Amino acid sequence: MRLKFLVLSFAVIIVLSACSKKEEQNQPQTQTKVQPKVNAHQVVSQEVLQVNSYTYIRVKDGDKEYWVAGPAMDVKKGETLYFVKSMEMKNFESKELKRTFESLFFVDNISKIPPADAQDGLTATPQKPTLEKANVSVEPAAGGITISQLFSNLNSYANKTVLLKGKVVKINNGIMGKNWAHIQDGTSSGGDFDLTVTTNDALSVGDVLTFEGKISLNKDFGYGYSYKVLMEDAKSKK
């Protein structure tokens, strides 16, 4: 499967902290030691598999070992690596490798240098991005619903295909083979004003589009990361 990874601003979808660090690894002498300030993972590569545009790495994190995948990079066994955000996929099949990974963490960015703002130590608690309500006012699509109507009647729309027009306020491309967008229309129900949409369409922040997709409730992607409501495999149009 061909996946494209971009640095997550949150978005979605799409991203979160992974496994906790059990012990500090020694950094290569060529690296500059930086005092960490945000949650980051320090791991050591154990095995490296290269495919077109992507790199699969079996890493050791304290006393744990697991597989991660990210943008293609030159990595050798024994190198110390760092990453911040990841998303776990169970039983992921790589057609290029002709192999199924029981567990694979997709990583948006892997670095040989610790993040300048990384915290000393890691956390296993998934973290979603903080979303702010945008100053938007979008007219509902003909025959469609609003975000307010959706969140006010979730059970009525569960597993149904709906039309919803909104403005793209955040976008993360190529996560698990899909683009993940946050859309808002200016309406809300309680504290809910933002809808996450997965699509294969190319989107940009600021686009005002009508989305048609299936509504899924309590969608769990594993590792404690779940969505109360999600519009999946949406098609968009102006």
Residues 59-72, mean pLDDT to the nearest whole number: 92
- Which CATH number is correct for 17-23+33-120, 3.90.1150.10, 3.30.70.260, 3.40.50.1820, 2.40.50.550? 2.40.50.550
When pLDDT is cut at 50, 70 and 90, the band that residue 122 belongs to is very low
The per-residue pLDDT of the chain, averaged, comes to 80
Average pLDDT over residues 188-215: 96
Give ∠ CA 166-12-113 in degrees, rounded to 5. Answer: 140
pTM over 0.75: no
Confidence of residue 222 (pLDDT cuts 50, 70, 90): low
- In terms of average pLDDT, the best of 2-6, 28-32, 87-91, 220-224 is 87-91
181's tokens:
């967008």
Residues 215-227 have a mean pLDDT of 73
Higher pLDDT, 234 or 16: 234
Domain ranges of the chain: 17-23+33-120, 147-237
- Phi (first) and psi of residue 106, to 5 degrees: -80, 125
The per-residue pLDDT for 130 is 66
| Identical topology for domains 17-23+33-120 and 147-237 | yes
**Lowest model confidence (mean pLDDT) among 15-29, 147-161, 204-218, 219-233:** 15-29
Could you read off the pLDDT of 73-118 as tens digits, one per residue? 999 999 999 898 888 888 998 888 999 999 999 988 888 887 755 4
pLDDT band at 6 (very low <50, low <70, confident <90, very high): very low
Short-list 198, 151, 149, 145, CA closest to 174: 198
Beta strands (DSSP E) in the chain are 41-51, 54-61, 64-71, 80-83, 86-94, 99-107, 161-175, 178-184, 195-199, 208-220, 226-237
Give burial (CB, 10 Å; 0-12/13-18/19+) of 236. buried
- The mean pLDDT of 221-238, rounded to a whole number, is 81
User: Regarding beta strands 208-220 and 86-94, do their DSSP bridges make them parallel or antiparallel, or are they unpaired?
Assistant: unpaired
Tell me the CATH class for 147-237. Answer: mainly beta
pLDDT confidence of residue 151: 97
Q: Write the DSSP string, 152-220.
A: HTHHHHTT-EEEEEEEEEEEEEEETTEEEEEEE-S--BTTB--EEEEESS---TT-EEEEEEEEEEEEE
Q: Which class for 32: exposed (0-12), middle (13-18), buried (19 or more C-beta within 10 A)? A: exposed
Looking at residue 26, its amino acid is: N
Q: Is the distance from CB of 15 to CB of 106 less than 8 angstroms?
A: no
Question: What is the pLDDT at residue 101?
Answer: 94
